[in-house]
């Protein structure tokens, strides 16, 4: 006499949900990596621009310091605060 085996649900439905979840996870990770690379490029661009502009600002501040020194009395030179850029 043959034994009765209840029919199982096909594993395709389970695999489908699992594969859909894994696909969404993979797509999310790829999007996150792309966003991270884009943010790193923007940050490097900002750093490069700041480096060139900070040199220019430093030169301008030195020029202002020189002009202030010329305008002040000789004895006041030591008490005049000097302008600078903190890096």
Contact 58, 83 (CB under 8 A): no
Q: What is the pLDDT of residue 10?
A: 58
Contact 58, 82 (CB under 8 A): no
Q: What is the pLDDT of residue 71?
A: 74
Q: What is the pLDDT of residue 55?
A: 83
Q: What is the pLDDT of residue 54?
A: 83
Q: Which residue stretches of the chain have pLDDT < 70?
A: 1-14, 73-87
Give alpha helix (H) positions in the chain. Answer: 11-71
- Measured from the Cβ of residue 62, the count of other Cβ atoms closer than 10 Å reads 13
pTM assigned to the model = 0.49
């Amino acid at each position: 006499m043959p034994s009765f085996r209840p029919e199982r649900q096909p594993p395709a439905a389970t695999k489908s949900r699992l594969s859909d979840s894994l696909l969404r996870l993979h797509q999310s990770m790829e999007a996150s990596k792309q966003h991270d690379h884009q943010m790193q490029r923007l940050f490097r661009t900002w750093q490069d621009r700041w480096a060139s502009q900070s040199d220019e600002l430093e030169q301008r501040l030195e020029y202002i310091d020189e002009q202030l020194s010329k305008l002040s009395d000789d004895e006041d030179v030591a008490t005049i605060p000097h302008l600078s850029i903190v890096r």
